[in-house]
Amino acid sequence: MKLYGALGIMEGDVVAFVGAGGKSGAILQIAGELGEAGTPVLVAPTTKMFVSEAEEIGPVLISEDGEDLSSKVEESLAGGGAAVAGSAILSKKRVGGVDPSWVPALAPRNGVTLVEADGSRRRPLKGTAAHEPLLPEGVTLVVAVGSIRALGRTVDEEHVHRPEVFSELTGTGSGHTINARAFADALLAGFHNTLEGVRRAALLTSVEPGRSMARAATITHGLWRGGVRKVILSSLPDESPGRVWVS
């Protein structure tokens, strides 16, 4: 099963990935799948993205002017393929994010736009702050991502980005164990800026058949109770491409 198909991504979609534990890997896999299907793909992060990851997708187009960047994107995707749009090349070899208001003008009409909309410092789970995520204008689907490697671990800097925010959101204090309810609550917090009518999905990563899939099922129940009906399991980022299951 293709990841983009499991998530219900369609031509014309603007998809924002939020959370932690595999956003970049999911974007890279979906960009590759859509490319094989002949669908133009634009990756337009509203937060920072590593240049090394961006270059795996396609040309990296840079401008601090929205109209200029839109022209570059249109030219690059005129014959199909994939590209990454950013505002600048920053220190530590990262692509600076675009202004969320630019995305509607950048998005290819006959393609798909993928947006990494928040950061997590490579942690498997995060506490989503009030100012996050930086959802683009015109977003049609928000995908909240979390790695089940965090399930059963303690709330600390090693396993959670912004553990103090995570504790406020879930009621699970520092040093306490992350259970399925707290995990689901953390993912649901990623939707707090999502407007009515925008589709929602969750992606649980680092899943393998057997015990880890059973553990993912307990999180899925919490997400369903929170109103998220589409929950996808994947072996990303441990495998590339990752295997995909519909929960």
Q: Which two tokens stand for residue 231?
A: 């929950």
What pairing do the DSSP bridges indicate for beta strands 231-234 and 244-246?
A: antiparallel
Q: What is the mean pLDDT of residues 48-69?
A: 97
Across 53-72, average pLDDT: 97
pLDDT at residue 247 is higher than 90 = no
8 residue type, one letter? G
Does residue 92 register a pLDDT over 90?
A: no
**Average pLDDT over every residue of 102-124:** 96
CB atoms within 10 A of CB 90: 14
CA–CA gap between residue 180 and residue 184 (Å, rounded): 6
pLDDT above 70 coverage of the chain, percent: 100
146 in Cβ contact with 205 (< 8 Å): yes
- Amino acid letter at 70? S
What is the per-residue pLDDT across 187-220, written as a single tens digit (0 to 9) for each?
Answer: 999 999 999 999 999 999 999 998 889 999 999 9
pLDDT one-digit tens code per residue, 141-181: 999 999 999 999 999 999 999 999 999 999 999 999 999 99
All structural domains of the chain, each given as residue ranges with its CATH number in brackets, are 3-44+110-246 (3.40.50)
The H or E element that residue 221 is part of is helix 211-225
Instruction: For the chain, give the number of residues.
Output: 247
Q: Beginning with the edge strand found earlier in the chain, give each strand of the sheet holding 49-50 in spatial order.
A: 49-50, 94-95, 89-90
